[in-house]
Structure 1
């Protein structure tokens, strides 16, 4: 597969993030504040589109900051997803259910 964002991949990334927010007890506003504390300024509209997979190209800086927050965890390892792994989810190359690459 060629490392391009896919519709399903972007939706999966939003789902992974929403699940992590729920586990933290954070709403969208809190998530926006946590991103801002890390230096990424966003707005409610962008956050909502990201979480709901309603964008063709997710904000790479937001994904990098999300990785820095270390709230999205790989189910295979229990470790936080890296920036690269989150990007691979959005490219539909990493299965968010298993934390493993999709088989070719």
Structure 2
């Protein structure tokens, strides 16, 4: 799969607020699928939670590990780092450079 297609999968996975909420929970700690189903019980049934987890897993944002009948879901931080390096870091460096120039200009006055 090309990196562009992989980026598309990641951004599409992140486009849904419920999937972002799942990632927020997994950021705090790994959770079982049952835990996630309980957390979203008021708004999503188990099948829908599993579908969302499938989208996150195919995008590489979640890693699922089976232990017997239990499925543990872990946040995979690597794709977020890649997004940061490609899309955010260059803009952040520009902002830091601008702030440094502003500081230097203000100190010279």
TM-score range, shorter chain: 0.3 to 0.5
Rg comparison, structure with higher value:
2
TM-score after normalising by structure 2 = 0.32
More helix by share: 2
More strand by share: 2
TM-score after normalising by structure 1 = 0.33
